[in-house]
Amino acid sequence: MSNTAPESDVNTRLAGIEAQLQQFNQLLSGLSERVARVEDNFIVVADFYKYKKLRDLLTQGDFREADWETIRVIQAIAGEPNVESITPEDMRQFPCDELRVIDSLWRTYSKGRFGFSVQMQIYQSVGGSLETTIAQDTKFIEHFGEQVGWRVDNKWLKCDDLDYTLAAPIGCHPSRWWNSSFGSKMTNYFFNRLLTCGI
């Protein structure tokens, strides 16, 4: 009888410790998400002027102008005066943190409908992968284009003909950036960069 009381005490204590560990794990999980948000905010604050106009346009729901501004921001980061000067090779070294900020702004102000990470998920859902980007496989880009509303009846739409409201297909924007003079080569290189950056 004297042995069972201490054993039940130990079990009670162990159950209490286990409950505390679960609470601690939940706190840690929530903390890492908050740290990621703070890091995103810090980057935006550090480069406030670089992202201010994009954030303002997205806040207003002006997705058409925000799409143009996204190109201007990418040009500024790449140090190129026009988008045609940005090569697929330039994309291989494009800063991941900058892509994350642009993505975060688009996701936040589109209620999770638009952004590079949303587009990346769609590309992967149609079978796109790091290997398909390296192989320059256009089949997956075409499937992706159909999913996001850029391709209808086997034809690519012009950016001006896209829907720039929240009613647009998920992943539709940003869209103009993808319309590169390097065609599918740039698309594959950009998807490759998003994958290697973990976006």
Query: 127 and 176: one domain?
Result: yes
pLDDT: which is higher, 27 or 115: 115
Average pLDDT over residues 172-182: 92
Query: 35 and 120: one domain?
Result: no
Query: 108 and 26: one domain?
Result: no
Q: Report the alpha-carbon distance of residue 197 to residue 175 in Å, rounded.
A: 20
Please determine, for residue 1, whether its predicted confidence score (pLDDT) is greater than 80. Answer: no
Query: 162 and 191: one domain?
Result: yes
Query: 150 and 83: one domain?
Result: yes
Query: 106 and 118: one domain?
Result: yes
How many domains are contained in the chain?
Answer: 2
Q: Report the alpha-carbon distance of residue 113 to residue 88 in Å, rounded.
A: 26
Query: 92 and 148: one domain?
Result: yes
Show the domain range for 127.
48-197
- State how far the alpha carbon of 59 is from the alpha carbons of 20, 106, 167, 169, 174, in Å: 41, 9, 16, 19, 15
The secondary structure of residue 136, as a DSSP letter, is T
Query: 66 and 39: one domain?
Result: no
pLDDT of the residue at 66: 98
| Confidence grade of residue 23 (pLDDT, cut at 50, 70, 90) | confident
Query: 36 and 117: one domain?
Result: no
pLDDT of the residue at 195: 96
Q: Report the alpha-carbon distance of residue 44 to residue 47 in Å, rounded.
A: 5
Query: 53 and 28: one domain?
Result: no
Backbone φ and ψ of 166, nearest 5°: -70, -10
For the segment 40-61, what is each residue's pLDDT rounded down to a tens digit? 555 555 566 789 999 999 999 9
Average pLDDT, the chain: 87
Query: 97 and 190: one domain?
Result: yes
| Cβ atoms of 71 and 177 closer than 8 Å | yes
Query: 137 and 56: one domain?
Result: yes
| Confidence grade of residue 28 (pLDDT, cut at 50, 70, 90) | low
For the segment 128-153, what is each residue's pLDDT rounded down to a tens digit? 999 999 999 999 999 999 999 999 99
